[in-house]
Structure 1
């Protein structure tokens, strides 16, 4: 897939082509969707992933064998905790009725990021407590209901 962005006046167009010989799929963003000079986008690097599993032990064994990631148990449930990948931590918890993978994006200011989510039509749950060694997390949904998270790492 090839993706390009064209800017014309107050519009930005994202053009994606699946194959070189197929017509492009394009979406145009008007000035309302493009941040003004008074607003700025957050960088939003992926900083944390969370695996929600029905059976955490099965998922722990699978991902440890698949990628060789070391696992650190936390709390009273030894099958729950986090993997340390070469780049980020990947949390694991069990008892989810529907298995899922949540992506968390790093933000410098949780309150400002939550406000921006709601301003843009999404929903932000309340931020959780500052978890030592991890930081603060907040679950969100975009305007169409896609779930994602915000993550403000610990200051240390």
Structure 2
């Protein structure tokens, strides 16, 4: 497990409004997201990100890169954290293109994400 920041995800009520806000605030640029819909990929000078609608009042998720997501999930549980049951991995084609993702909470309930790049174990 390497643990470096891989990307961030912003959940907002209205994705178009969110894009306009963050573009005006930070000068970020946006491209259509891989899943279609109202989501978008965010280009920043440093860490890439994403934004999606229908998630009013959510906290930003920071996704940390891991080499073996199944091993990392087991370790989260061993350390007293939890992993949400929501399937955010998508199908095999999506995993081969974009990698695998898990939404987690640490042992104090703070949210974070795990990301395994395509081609992992």
Question: Normalized against structure 1, the TM-score is what?
Answer: 0.65
In structure 1, list runs of 5 or more residues that go unmatched. 1-41
Report whether the alignment pairs 1:65 with 2:41.
no
Q: CA deviation at 1:137?
A: 0.5
> Aligned Cα RMSD in Å?
2.0
1:144 aligns to 2:88 (yes or no): no
Per-residue CA deviations over 1:67-103 (Å, capped at 9, x if unaligned) read 22221113442x4211022333211011113232111
Flag the 1:131–1:54 CA change in 2: closer, same or farther, 3 A.
farther
Structure 2 stretches lacking a partner, 5+ long: none
- Secondary structure at the aligned position of 1:51 is classed as strand
What's the counterpart of residue 54 of structure 1?
Answer: 13
Aligned-partner SS, 1:100? coil
The structure, 1 or 2, with the larger RCO (C-alpha pairs under 8 Å, 6+ apart) is: 2
Q: d(CA) in 1 for partners of 2:22 and 2:108?
A: 30
| Greater fraction of residues in strand | 1
| Cα distance in structure 1, aligned partners of 2:96 and 2:48 | 14
In the other structure, the counterpart of 2:118 is 154
Contact kept? 2:2, 2:67, Cα under 8 Å: no
> Residues 109-137 of structure 1, C-alpha deviation per residue, up to 9 Å, x if partnerless?
101100000000001235623162x3111
Structure 1 residue runs of 4+, over 4 Å off?
none
Q: CA deviation at 1:148?
A: 0.6
Rg larger in structure: 1
Q: CA deviation at 1:66?
A: 2.1
TM-score by length of 2: 0.81
Contact 2:13 2:53 in 1 (8 A): yes
Partner of 2:49 in structure 1?
A: 90
